[in-house]
Structure 1
Amino acid sequence: MSEIFRSLVLNRRFDDVTLRVLESALVSKDVKSSIEVRSSFRQFMRSESLSVLRETAEKNVEEKLLVLEFLVHAFALVGDVESCLALRYEALLLRDVKSSTNPWLQVSYTEWLNFAHQSRDSGFYSVAGKACEHALDCIKRKSTEDRKTDEVNVMKKSTEDPKTDEVLESVQAIEKIKRLKDCAMASASSHSDGRLLEKETKGEEHGASLRFQGAKMCCSKHFVPKWNQKAESTKIEHESKLAGDD
């Protein structure tokens, strides 16, 4: 099963069948064997995902999202929480960037909030704080859009307007998100463990190694995996040696 899964990935078969093969390959009665198999798959997926993401650079947004969804599920199955969260973040950012021309891709504040909770629970506090900022931005954008709609419908001013409930819901949501952000940032300050998702961006999102090369999307330095950095470093060293030989 292990070889079948590797073959399917190498042939770029990103579907439910491949994921089921991976699930089957992970089944083991021996605990030690199971740990070794998962470790092997993690290394394989980390290495192969770099090539996969580069290959999708010229694909449309739907295809990119399908590839990201597959990788997220695969990393979740092999127990690589770090990579799983990183790619989920990339998918959310991609949707957010493309939603201006593709409204159906719009990310809701609840999606960012759920991601923030999961990041915090996994110990990635700075990432949780960043996700909270995105959630607040979503509410702010929606509020702006609602005001524009109301300006068109100026005749509608009943005290029973359902908009009143929506405003109250937004206020409560903002308070909830801010509390989570404060909690996450406080935890981030007291947990300087150097894990990949905790790299500081100083408020800016720059291009990272883990990205669709050539694609116009925002990627955060919060998500530059150590395994990715090592792969890029090895590649640079190899290219330098080749240049020296010439």
Structure 2
Amino acid sequence: MSQTHASHLSIDQQGAVLTLTLNRPESLNSLTAVLVADLLRALDDAAAQPDVRCVVFTGAGRAFCAGQDLKDPAVVSDGPTPKDLGAVVGSNYKPLVLRLRSMPVPTLAAVNGVAAGAGASLALTCDMVVARRSAAFIQAFSAIGLIPDSGATWLLPRLVGRARALGLAMLGDKLSAEEAQRIGLIWACVDDDAFDAQVGVLAQRLASLPTKVLVRTRQLLDQGLTSPLEQALDAEAAAQRELGFAADYVEGLAAFAQKRAPRFTDR
């Protein structure tokens, strides 16, 4: 199915893969309050659809997402008092980041161009990030007198360590996709002419894997960053207990014994 919203979010489903495309190329896919709301609604809808097993998040044109649209009425004051940006982050971006992080299916950010500010944060919130070699990541906050938001202060040190996180956040330098892969910020940097094909292959692969297992893995890895070893071991045991009674485990064992590809169905 394919659908385009007036708020410039395109939705396309091919098999078990749902692709959400920010479609404001003339504004480098910058985010408005309306677009954020539609994106959140689309993610909620995808989470409720049992036939969706992977969500791909990308942008139209030459950018992935330039972050918050600074001309959006949500952030532009109509009087002498500035808008409360904390309220914007709390009401718009916090729910969106939490929704992405709690999706019941794997999420893949296909970064086709520059990802800046909140756009970079949303890409890095996804389970896996694949970027064109010509793409770049920019923590574009300090240049306008703001701190990184949309989860960036939580994500960056976990992905690349405190020293690199501080450098990226304070200086706001453009980070190439190749360097982003080298330092572990993203999963893969792909040549531009192979990007679409490789994103498609990876999305289909994620959709074919045991969905519940992938989601539990995400949860345990996130929890393990701040959990003592004994607690992590207990969480692993609880997850294995649950998954060991699930149909996908039975199917995985049968497929292994029969030397065939498994057909996972749990979600």
Q: TM-score range by the shorter chain?
A: 0.3 to 0.5
Normalised by the length of structure 2, the TM-score is 0.32
Normalised by the length of structure 1, the TM-score is 0.34
Taking CA–CA contacts closer than 8 Å with sequence separation of 6 or more, which of the two structures ends up with the larger relative contact order? 1
Between structures 1 and 2, the one with greater strand share: 2
Between structures 1 and 2, the one with greater helix share: 1
